[in-house]
A and B are shown apart, each in its own frame.
Chain A
Amino acid sequence: MANEEAKSVTDTDRTVDQLSSGGVMFRVQDLDLYYGNFQALKKINIEIPARKVTAFIGPSGCGKSTLLRCFNRMNDLIDDVRIEGKILLGDRDIKDANMDVVRLRTEVGMVFQSPNPFPMSIYDNVTYGLRCQGIKDKALLDEVVESSLKKAALWNEVKDDLGKNAVKLSGGQQQRLCIARAIALQPTVILMDEPTSALDPVATGKIEDLMETLKEDYTIIIVTHSMNQAARISDKTAFFYLGDLIEYGDTDRVFSKPADPRTEAYITGRFG
């Protein structure tokens, strides 16, 4: 299959099981993160399971996005950020100075809050990541485009006009295109920061269904403000408050028997 080839071309003969030791994808140990003098994350310890959907919830400003950005080192782009502690992907600390960040980002894809397709054709959007890796084989790219768009449940809507400028798609289609774009690189992890907050219920439903199928192949971490969404689609839920990880466990358990009164207050909508 095309995707298998893509893997070999991008020089990643990794598998989810190899990367994650004992079904754990990321192991975060004593993570502190500072924006200047402000500490946004405090001694975070969390294990993200492989091939599961993990939801990060918590009131605005509690550090969900900040932690999410640690997993693909997007925090590097922000000036004046200081990070202490460890984030292990398999046995590698991705914070390591000699970590190949560009390579890491092909392994750990990201979908942003507001859809951000490039103002180029749908085809070029999907193949962007591979082209950046130097892949030019047209047949291979064609196959990746088809399989990625199919996985992102967008293929049927756009297959007749792959040359269409992506910014002309609807918001929901754009977001699915962004997911397809990330999938095209065959990542092991997909990070999603409030991927449906800019979408209507129908488009949201489509993306939620999509995650259900994607988690068979990928590890998904999603930040969401919707308790319903977290309860519906995630296997694990982590509740953050003011930079602290307050509670982390199976979603069913967290929502039915929250251990911390702050978690209970938040999920029942009494604050945040």
Chain B
Amino acid sequence: MTNDRRTLDALTNKRGMNNQRRLADGIKDFITYLSTSLSVLVLGAVFVFVLTRGWQTLSWDMITGDFWGGNFKVNFTETLPGTFTAPGSLPQDAYFSEKYGFAVRDDKNHEKKDIMVLLYLDPESPLKTSVGATAGPTLDQPLSAGIGAEIRKITYVNDDGAKKSAGLLGKQNAEQMVFTLDTQSVSVDSMDFQSSGGGIRGSLAATLMLIGITLVIALPIGVFAAIYLHEIAGKGKITKMIRAAIEMLNGVPSIIFGLMGMTVFFPLTRLFGATTPNILLGGITMTVVLLPVIIRQTEEALITVPDKLRMGSLSLGATKTQTIFKVVLPNALPGILSAGLLSISRIIGESAALIYTMGTFVVDRPQLNGRATTLAVQIWSVMSGEQPNFELASAISILILLMVLVLNVSVKMITASLNKKWKE
């Protein structure tokens, strides 16, 4: 030992290795520290940047509100009055219509002009049953005035069967309008209102729908493919090739999947009545994007299930299939769960694959077989117009960052507990 030591010292001294080595180590250490701090810095910068620009805009109204503010005229499909009771929580200056189950109050907008604001809308109210009456994408689509909308006019039918107007356009304030409707109307016909807009409800809903659709399709396929690869297929060339192909899919830019989805899968969604890019198409496309991730993640989980459990099961006369479903899968469940969570965060973050397959037109009331944007695509959408809405984009970014953060932390926690389980 001491002998080795001496020769090593002699060697290093002779060649002046010590200084040289110190220098080389120093440079490498420096680069390591620099890179690390750079990544942390960039991450911090992103957060600060997005937070400062988006924080003000972020609010509950923005999350639950429509994107398309503006003037709307709607017709009611349910026009007859009912009997409604006011909720206890209404403010003093609110006027409640017992016939139609809504409450309004007088207010002034930032231009000091008189407005009338919708404060409450009973779930059963006829006003809820409104459909768009103006030509455009909302024509005949459900279009209910949200809380906070400015009511301008409600057209009602009186005893004589004549259509009359109540509300600001009929020179009435909140009290007068509610009184008129409750005393003189036989039914309601239509309503003019102005919504504030700039909300993300549609994109949020579309994102959730996309997540649901994608997981429902992708998880079973991915999990069973992983089971096939890891538990059933031999370790031959073909398995290797399949696995390599799946790995490679992982590296394909998702916009290519988007193109493929648009051309290959679109006809499929036509069976579901789609005429435009749609959420279903987005889901199918995301399935293709996510399969490698899910297969990989599930395989990792299957690997953590100790072989001795499989052996034990088989030695008790269980078939291979029984072994997989009774012993292997239950123990791989946390891993499969984390595959699902990872997929969700990929879906939330994806944009390229969805531009062609779901479109970029923000829709407030998305439907499975119609256009919609996810939150990420809405960012793209609001920034690419004539007047980029940087604040809204940043606010959405904050939400996305938060969601991805929560999801990734959950995955980390699940993985940690999974590893601990078999350590003993």
Contacts and interface: CB of A to CB of B under 8 A. Distances in A.
Contact of A132 (B308, B318, B330): B318
Contacts of A128: 313, 316, 318, 326
Interface stretch (A14-22, A35-43, A100-108, A230-238): A100-108
Contacts of A102: 317-319
A116 B317 CA distance: 15
B322 A112 contact: no
Given A116-B308, A118-B327, A132-B326, A79 B316 contact: no
A2 interface: no
B253 to A, nearest CB: 37
A74 interface: yes
Nearest to B319: A102
A114 B424 CA distance: 13
A227 B412 CA distance: 48
Contact of B316 (A77, A103, A105): A105
B315 A105 contact: yes
Interface string A175-187: 0001001100100
A47 B234 CA distance: 34
A211 interface: no
B272 to A, nearest CB: 40
B316 A132 contact: yes
B306 interface: yes
Nearest to A187: B317
Contact of B314 (A77, A120, A178): A77
B234 A105 contact: no
A105 B306 contact: no
B300 to A, nearest CB: 18
B314 to A, nearest CB: 7
A118 B309 contact: yes
A61 interface: no
Contacts of B322: 132
Contacts of A114: 308
A245 interface: no
Contact of B313 (A79, A118, A185): A118
B256 interface: no
Contacts of A106: 316-317
Given A118-B327, A119-B331, A112 B308 contact: yes
B312 interface: yes
B71 to A, nearest CB: 62
Given A119-B331, A129-B318, A132-B319, A79 B234 contact: yes
A241 to B, nearest CB: 26
B235 A178 contact: no
A160 B310 CA distance: 28
A116 B326 CA distance: 15
A128 B331 CA distance: 16
Contact of A74 (B314, B318, B326, B327): B314
B8 interface: no
A185 B306 contact: no
B24 interface: no
A77 B311 contact: yes
A129 B319 CA distance: 10
A74 B311 CA distance: 8
Please list the 7 inter-chain residue pairs (A to B) with the smallest Cβ-Cβ separation, ordered nearest first.
A106-B317, A129-B316, A116-B308, A110-B315, A132-B318, A116-B312, A105-B317
15 contacts: A77-B314, A79-B234, A79-B235, A102-B317, A106-B316, A112-B308, A112-B315, A116-B308, A117-B312, A129-B316, A129-B317, A129-B318, A132-B313, A132-B316, A132-B326
Interface of A: 72, 74, 77, 79, 102-103, 105-106, 109-110, 112, 114, 116-120, 128-129, 132-133, 178, 181-182, 185
Given A106-B317, A132-B313, 11 more contacts: A72-B315, A79-B234, A105-B315, A112-B308, A116-B312, A117-B312, A119-B331, A129-B316, A129-B318, A132-B326, A185-B317
